Amino acid sequence: MPQATWNPAQYLSVMSWAMFSTTTTSILLALIFFPLTNLGAYLAGWPIGLSITVNVILFIAASLARRDQYVCVSLTAEGIRYTDESESYRRNERLRASDIKKIRVRRNPFFKSLTIDMKEDNQRFFLSNVSLTENFLTEANTLINQAAGNAPQTGLQKA
């Protein structure tokens, strides 16, 4: 059964870049406030500002990459099952294929995000930092089109 799950490897990659950026920013700040050499005059301007900005951006990206850690999206014969197993937000939704408007994957500089748009109430389901099986989007779009009467039957069987 095709699935879309949270991608731990990509999260670790973004987090490692954030840690590297923190180390670099800390070294620059140490050179400014505890001058062993006379580099403080060269580092006090835009280099430290750029380093802090990059650090903030990377930590925001890392927190967004971790947000949907317990979410899983699976294709079923009737549609899509959206499961969130986080402790404070237990959720198990069955989305009928006929109620789904579209499903898409967007790429940002750090990771991919899956978005499921519903036809009614402008409701959306998200999975940030997604790892997809090879045929997930193809089968999902075929399932949605099949429910709308636009495509032939696929290989998905009722369980």
Alpha carbons 67 and 112: distance in angstroms, whole number = 13
Domain co-membership, 12 together with 36? yes
Identify whether 1 is part of a domain.
no
Residue 88 pLDDT: 82
Q: Does 28 share its domain with 45?
A: yes
Region 4-11: what's the mean pLDDT?
92
Check residue 149 and give its pLDDT. 74
Q: Which of 66, 84, 104 is the last residue of a domain?
A: 66
Q: Where are the beta strands (DSSP E) in the chain?
A: 3-6, 71-75, 79-84, 91-96, 100-107, 112-118, 124-128, 130-132
Instruction: Quote the pLDDT of residue 29.
Output: 80
Residues 77 and 58 in one domain: no
Residue 154 lies in a domain: no
Helix locations, 34-89, DSSP H: 40-43, 46-66
pLDDT in tens, 61-92: 999 999 889 999 998 888 899 998 888 888 88
Q: Tell whether 139 and 75 lie within a shared domain.
A: yes
Is residue 71 within 8 A of residue 125, CB to CB? The reply is no
Note whether 61 and 80 are same-domain residues. Answer: no
Give yes or no: residues 18 and 50 share one domain: yes
Taking all residues of the chain, what is their mean pLDDT, rounded to a whole number? 84
Total domains, the chain: 2
Give per-residue pLDDT as tens, 118-136: 888 888 888 999 998 878 8
**In sequence order, what are the residues at sequence separation of 6 or more whose Cβ sits closer than 8 angstroms to the Cβ of residue 58?**
14, 17, 18, 21
Who contacts 127 (Cβ-Cβ below 8 Å, separation ≥6)? 4, 5, 6, 68, 71, 73, 113, 114
- Asked if residue 95 and residue 49 are part of one domain, the reply reads no
Instruction: Answer yes or no: is 34 within a domain.
Output: yes
> Does 118 fall in a domain?
yes
Query: Looking at the structure, do residues 75 and 111 belong to the same domain, yes or no?
Result: yes
In a domain, residue 159? The reply is no
Residue 156 lies in a domain: no
What pLDDT sits at residue 157?
A: 41
| CATH code of 83's domain | 2.30.29.30
Given pLDDT bands bounded at 50, 70 and 90, which one contains residue 22? very high
How high is the pLDDT of residue 79? 87
**What is the domain range of residue 31?**
8-66
Could you tell me if 95 and 143 lie in one domain? yes
